[in-house]
Amino acid sequence: MNTEPVRVIINPAASAGRGRRAAVELLEELDARSLPCEARYTEGPGHAAELAAEAREAGVRAIVVVGGDGTVHEVAGGLLAGRPGRLPPVCVFPAGTGNDFFRMVGAGRSAAAVARVLEQGAVKHFDVGRVRWDSGERVFVNVVGVGVDVDVLRCRARFGRLTGLAQYLAALLYALVTFRPPEVRIDLGPAGGTLLGRITLSVITVGPSIGGGFKVNPAARASDGRLDLLHVPAMNLLRIMALVPRVIRGTHGGAKALTMCRIQGARLGRTDGKPVWFEIDGELSPEPARELRVNIVPRALPVMVPANA
């Protein structure tokens, strides 16, 4: 058994405090299995990235993330921001609201399942995306998008008693009442052409789901070297609501007016030149941007998965 300690990065505020409770459960499980670890608790936005960068410089064997997609996003950013070199693999104990990144890992959700991945799992290298805008740059582990998703993020706190897909669905229904579709232009490169018009939603993903289980790009794979686009043009409320159950099941691929394709990158902005707010891995962007430039970074993030995944 490897006796080198792993670094556990814990977001105690994840999912209204579930992160702290999950951490206690996991640390007890690791102790029971005599798996040495060093716990670090985040103290606010951005701190997980700092802790991940410190763990990388310390040469830890692995990093266990206790939190949701936003915490994984920060950890990946902290790891990939440094100079080229060995990165410790990331193991995830899901304690967030959506946990869509964890769905790509294919592991059980219990503390015991996470411990087994640490003991017996394999390392798989996941793709990440990179988004650049006027004055910023981030990597994303699962999704970047514009449209109604931004309004959903702004009102999810109203439905804090719900979790996962139920919370996202409730927030979506609420957001659609006042949503005004922006007109955008999306350039997909020479082979992909251009999409132009008012939109309900445009999301570019690494994996298949967003929002706690909406299978927006069901054929997406974490290590295929491609990003996946779902583009939903402006629709009336009845058409959107008829489409939602199909997106939840991932059976919307043949739906009229939708665009679904695999891409290497894209440029996206409003046609009127005004800045647009966007989401990154389930969090609101730090600022609006006049143009988003998105590209794939293949097999950049080492992730611990079950040995039989």
Annotate 7-70 with DSSP letters as a single string.
EEEE-TTHHHHHHHHHHHHHHHHHHHTT--EEEEE--STTHHHHHHHHHHHHT-S-EEEEE-HH
From CA 105, how far away is CA 114, in angstroms rounded? 11
pTM of the model: 0.94
From CA 50, how far away is CA 65, in angstroms rounded? 13
* DSSP three-state, residue 244: helix
| 136 vs 84: which has the higher pLDDT | 136
- Of the pLDDT bands very low, low, confident and very high (cuts 50, 70, 90), residue 22 is very high
pLDDT at 277: 96
Domains in the chain: boundaries: 6-120, 133-297
Whether pLDDT at 12 is above 70: yes
User: Quick one: tokens of 233?
Assistant: 């043009």
From CA 211, how far away is CA 7, in angstroms rounded? 28
pLDDT at 2: 61
pLDDT at 4: 84
pLDDT > 70 fraction of the chain, expressed in percent and rounded: 99
pLDDT at 46: 94
pLDDT > 90 fraction of the chain, expressed in percent and rounded: 82
Whether pLDDT at 211 is above 70: yes
pLDDT at 162: 80
Average pLDDT over residues 180-201: 92
Residue-averaged pLDDT of the chain? 93
What would be the CATH architecture of the domain defined by 133-297?
A: Sandwich (2.60)
Specify the range with the lowest mean pLDDT, choosing from 14-18, 104-108, 224-228, 293-297: 14-18
DSSP state of 240: H
User: Quick one: tokens of 292?
Assistant: 């988003």
Amino acid (1-letter code) at residue 291: E
pLDDT at 181: 95
User: Quick one: tokens of 96?
Assistant: 């967030």
Question: What is the distance, to the nearest Å, from the Cα of residue 161 to the centroid of all Cα atoms in its chain?
Answer: 21
From CA 104, how far away is CA 221, in angstroms rounded? 8
User: Quick one: tokens of 307?
Assistant: 């040995």
Which residue bears the tokens 């670890």? 37
The CATH H-level (homologous superfamily) assignment of domain 6-120 is: Probable inorganic polyphosphate/atp-NAD kinase; domain 1 (3.40.50.10330)
Average pLDDT over residues 60-66: 97
pLDDT at 258: 96
* pLDDT tens digits along 251-299: 999 898 999 999 999 999 999 999 999 999 999 999 999 999 999 999 9
From CA 143, how far away is CA 303, in angstroms rounded? 17
* pLDDT tens digits along 86-137: 899 999 999 988 899 999 999 899 999 999 999 999 999 999 999 999 999 9
Q: Calculate the dihedral angle through the C-alpha atoms of 211, 213, 215, 220, rounding to the nearest 10 degrees.
A: 90
* DSSP three-state, residue 90: strand
Average pLDDT over residues 4-30: 92
pLDDT at 254: 86
pLDDT at 94: 95
237: which strand partners? none
From CA 231, how far away is CA 208, in angstroms rounded? 14
Q: How many CB atoms lie within 10 A of CB 2?
A: 11
pLDDT at 191: 72
Average pLDDT over residues 191-216: 94
Amino acid (1-letter code) at residue 229: L
pLDDT at 1: 54
pLDDT at 180: 94
User: Quick one: tokens of 54?
Assistant: 């410190």
